[in-house]
Amino acid sequence: MSNPAINLLPTIFVILGATGDLMQKKLAPSLFRLYEQKELPALFQVVGFSRDSLDDARFRHLVSDMIRAKVKGCSKQKVEEFTRFFSYQQGLFEERAGYENLASRFGMQDGEWKVCSNKLFYLAVPPQFYRTIFYQLAESGLTKPCSPTEGWTRVIVEKPFGKDLQTAQELDRLLGRLFREEQIYRIDHYLGKETVQNILAFRFANSFFEPIWNREAVESIEIKFWEDFGIGDRGIFYDGSGALRDVGQNHILQLLALFLMSNPGDFTPESIRKERARVLKALRVWRSVKDIQQMTMRGQYQGYRLEKDVDASSQTETYFRIETFLQTPRWQGVPIYLEGGKQMPESKVEVTVVFRHSAPCLCPEGGAHYKNTLRYRVQPQEAIHLSFWIKKPGAQMELEEKDFAFDYRAAFEGHDLSDAYKRLLFSVIRGDQTLFVSTEEILAGWKFVDPIVRAWEEGVTELHEYAQKSDMMVKMKLSADV
Ligand code: BG6
């Protein structure tokens, strides 16, 4: 197969916040992996932009350290060869001068390449800088292609996109005034994970589940997003956010959308995004105090208030469980459980679909019914398990539960399943928005999450305290289930 990078046009990639955490942990290593696999355009430049006072040589050195710390066994020489594509522009996000300097760099580079190159702006900065940067980029004319026929400009924004529905709408209005939707790439890095991308293939390239993917056959759906660690040094961000905003409004809802969406008809980015949004818009939103008390639950791990930068009397949840429904003929009445938490007994992200037993069922009299379960493990130990019942050898009709299991890593040994950012960056460069969240999806997510968070902030449900690594919250039932 020909290398798709061969057809990629010259591109300048500007990273705003280029000395920060995201650059160090994700962007620099992922760009290097793309380079190693020859998936970057042949003419490619990265310009780091931040307030730190560095020159090109020191920036390259920094990037080289970032890559070598993350990419095991990489060749020093290859890394140095790669960092030659990097240069640095010092500037303040709120001051025009830095952006003007960027514009003159672009002019020089394009002159050297004799093209009007593509420009990519990655906002690897805390969300409070988004507004200023969007304005400055647009006002300084940087987001306008240098020619009507050649070169595009795109902006990439990290989550959180807003803090609630209102702030998301404001940000969206601003973005909408400055850029066209096809220029905006909103990241939810879960969409870049191999196993998350596979949900579409699993559902729409196989014929066995689609006919039973509905309320007649499915009894319940559950998404678990457990992490066995705490908030680390992200106290300032996390304490103002909480678990539901941090992983519920985005990652968990995206998983849900992919699992429950209908066949989009074609697999273009527009159709897929529209279909995902349709699911999120159909979520049953809980507004009344009674509903929120019955259908939601929240907890905070012991010791959370002692974490760095956390308020000593914080009411922020580090765990939640919500039961909801989709208001569509296909899914009406099927309970959906969404659960996320830090300091849980183990780390796992998993979707479980429980099927109804057949009727009449060869089930034990008076005993539990035999149900099949599909467990789709997003991470770690990426796998798909399907439980079924089988007759135990012997004279009695005694059944036992067994498992069909597919282990991703065993099946694709040597393949890299983990680097979501590599796939995301590759998609932006190619102009494929499938793995990015549309404005419709963002707003639908906030419409669902907002009333719950607000009611929690008003204290309408108890904030349970749970011991770190305990399954105490998991064992507690929602009052709707009792
Ligand atoms: C981030 C959240 O979006 O996703 C973190 O802010 C969370 O709190 C992380 O730990 C999980 O991502 P991953 O890829 O490590 O599972």
Model confidence pLDDT, tens digit, residues 158-199: 988 989 999 999 999 988 888 888 899 999 999 999 999 999
> Which residue is closest in CA terms to ligand 1's atom 14?
190
Residue 414 confidence (pLDDT): 82
Mean pLDDT to the nearest integer, 188-214: 95
The predicted model gives 293-315 an average pLDDT of 97
**Spacing, Cα 227 to ligand 1 middle (Å):** 9
Domains of the chain: 11-158 (3.40.50.720), 191-417+438-481 (3.30.360.10)
Q: Kindly name the residue from 251, 369, 385, 415 that is annotated as catalytic.
A: 251
pLDDT at residue 2, as a whole number: 44
- The mean pLDDT of 19-31, rounded to a whole number, is 94
Tell me how far apart the alpha carbons of residues 224 and 405 are, in angstroms, rounded to a whole number. Answer: 19
Q: Which residue has the tokens 């009007």?
A: 116
Q: Is 251 a catalytic residue?
A: yes
Residues making up the binding site for substrate: 189, 193, 227, 246, 342
Distance CA 363, CA 399 (A): 9
The amino acid at 296? T
The pLDDT of residue 366 is 66
DSSP 234-247: -HHHHHTT-HIIII
Residue 126 has pLDDT above 90, yes or no: no
Is the CB of 227 inside a 6 Å radius of any atom of ligand 1?
A: yes
Do the Cβ atoms of 296 and 322 come closer than 8 Å? yes
Q: What mean pLDDT is predicted for residues 265-270?
A: 94
More confident residue, 71 or 358: 71
* Cβ of 419 less than 6 Å from ligand 1: no
In the predicted structure, residue 3 carries a pLDDT above the cut 70: no
188 lines ligand 1 (CB under 6 A): no
- Tens of pLDDT, residue by residue over 320-356, are 999 999 999 999 999 999 999 999 999 999 999 999 9
Q: Give the pLDDT of residue 12.
A: 96
Atom of ligand 1 nearest to the CA of 193: 14
**pLDDT category, 416, cuts 50, 70, 90?**
confident
Average pLDDT on 40-53 reads: 95
Q: Work out the pLDDT band at 361, boundaries 50, 70, 90.
A: confident
Q: What is the mean pLDDT of the chain?
A: 93
Predicted confidence at residue 221, as pLDDT, reads 98
Q: Name the amino acid, one letter, at 458.
A: E
Centroid of ligand 1 to alpha carbon of 134 (angstroms): 25
- Looking up tokens 């579409």 gives 200
Indicate whether residue 247 lines ligand 1 (CB < 6 A).
Answer: yes
CA distances from 175 to 12, 49, 135, 137, 143 (A): 21, 21, 9, 11, 12
- Which residue has the least CA distance to atom 11 on ligand 1? 247
pLDDT of residue 448: 98
CB atoms under 10 Å from CB of 402, counted, come to 11
Q: Is the pLDDT of residue 1 over 50?
A: no
pTM higher than 0.85, yes or no? yes
